[in-house]
Structure 1
């Protein structure tokens, strides 16, 4: 009596079921192991590199030449922003990562607010507050959706976003309504 052969679909089904079972076993084992976390990219180590935004224990004093009243103050030299209330008290201060194109010192107003978009560097950003323009670029405060620092900028490329950490971006978004004064100092 000749041996009976199994149809090919039986072999394929058996092999597929075995492969799925092996993947499930490996996935369960992997889930029980350590979970690595991705490191955030750091700013480039150059003379132009900007320090990672941090909140200091004793915030730097609001610059004397920044006006009076409720306003956002941005210091080009300190790479720092202050949220100043109507009584001239700083409610929050934090460092930022400026773009390659900076606004000139002076007084501006927040002209437009955009909840989220993609930055010119390809990063998903949110809490965007536009307040100036220079060299054909709109200058705005924003933060990366994932809270990361901006990537290194390619040589010769111009960027005008002033980035900050996620919590600082949320605080500025709440504080900076359309029409809020932004004072830029040296």
Structure 2
């Protein structure tokens, strides 16, 4: 049977590890503005052949009469499609059917075009801009800035302050709910121009 001092050491160790984990997360979501222009921290997988916007590719073709139409060549199968030029997201289900599309407020750091997967999610946290957010769906990183979709708890979708490196792509709360339900761990995210 462990002694009370052994239990105390175990408790202190667990508390210290939790504090280190929290501080590591906080450090990963903010980067000082002076670190310069963002670069991809890892090369996204070209993944889906013919994805417009992949490195060296031109902007994904759009239907100018229907800007909400899914960009042609944005892949196949269930996926989230995010256009960094149009600030729009499409949730694409089975049979390449668009389940929902909506406008977003971009972060100050954009992910490179390519194919990613959802790597982590958080129900509620404080965003890199200090605003409480919910339904955070993370899928990329650029120079230590974590990129993901989220909705501000207060419903705001204002642009981030200039000069601050943030990775939060803001949605309305209703769109954030839809993203949360759709984009589980491992879900494909295709980023196009």
Instruction: Give the TM-score normalised by structure 1.
Output: 0.66
CA distance in 2 between partners of 1:76 and 1:159 (Å): 14
**Partner of residue 185, structure 1:** 192
Alpha carbons of structure 1 residues 166 and 128: separation in structure 2 relative to 1, 3 Å: same
Give the superposition deviation at 1:136.
Answer: 1.2
**Which one has a bigger Cα radius of gyration?**
1
**Partner of residue 157, structure 1:** 164
CA contact (8 A) 1:127 1:173 kept: yes
**Partner of residue 96, structure 2:** 88
- Aligned pairs for 1:1-186 (under 5 A) are 60-150=68-158, 152-153=160-161, 155-186=162-193
CA distance in 1 between partners of 2:113 and 2:129 (Å): 25
Give the superposition deviation at 1:150.
Answer: 3.1
CA contact (8 A) 1:100 1:158 kept: yes
CA distance in 1 between partners of 2:160 and 2:115 (Å): 29
CA contact (8 A) 2:108 2:160 kept: no
CA contact (8 A) 2:88 2:101 kept: yes
**Partner of residue 32, structure 1:** none
CA contact (8 A) 2:129 2:160 kept: no
**Structure 1: segments with no counterpart, 5+ residues:** 1-57
Q: Which has the higher contact order (CA 8 A, sep 6+)?
A: 2
Residue deviations 1:32-61 (CA, integer Å, cap 9, x gap): xxxxxxxxxxxxxxxxxxxxxxxxxx7711
Give the superposition deviation at 1:156.
Answer: 2.0
Matched pairs, number: 128
Give the superposition deviation at 1:183.
Answer: 0.2
Alpha carbons of structure 1 residues 95 and 135: separation in structure 2 relative to 1, 3 Å: same
Q: Could you list the runs of 4 or more consecutive aligned residues of structure 1 that deviate by over 6 angstroms after TM superposition?
A: none
SS at match of 2:174: helix
Instruction: Give the TM-score normalised by structure 2.
Output: 0.64
CA distance in 1 between partners of 2:132 and 2:179 (Å): 18
